[in-house]
Amino acid sequence: MSLNDMSKEDIMGSLALTEPVLLILLSLAEQPRHGYSILKDVQEMSDGRVKLSTGTLYGALCRLLEDGWIERFKENDTSRGRQAYCLSRAGRRNLQLEVSRLKHLTRLAILRVAPKET
């Protein structure tokens, strides 16, 4: 079953992205990037907490390509043999759904953790 055939509830239930994958998608949401640029952007966004190995990055990119969340980005100058990636339409939609899910969880956590007035 492709993501296009899934309901919003099915997609939301299957998301729960790991932090590294979420950061990779957020990096690609801004602009198409090469692997090294993604590595550096993820490290910067996480204030150095998340340092992806190249194996982890390319494993995640391969899975995201297979799932249709990202696409290879066609560049005019490919003389260095580098491959760039960008979010697909479905990937951007699913990233937005994941951000909404995380916002909801954050609001719930704030309500539950906030000190109760007595």
Q: Tell me what pLDDT residue 10 has.
A: 56
Domain ranges across the chain: 8-113
Report the predicted TM-score, pTM, of the whole model to 2 decimal places. Answer: 0.79
pLDDT over 80 (residue 15): no
Sequential DSSP letters for 50-105:
----HHHHHHHHHHHHHTTSEEEEP-S--TT---EEEE-HHHHHHHHHHHHHHHHH
Q: Give residue 92's pLDDT band: very low, low, confident or very high (50, 70, 90).
A: very high
Summarize pLDDT for 38-77 with one digit per residue, the tens.
999 999 999 999 999 999 999 999 999 999 999 999 877 6
Q: Tell me what pLDDT residue 5 has.
A: 60
Q: Tell me what pLDDT residue 11 has.
A: 52
Which architecture characterizes domain 8-113 according to CATH?
Answer: Orthogonal Bundle (1.10)
Cα 53 → chain centroid: 16
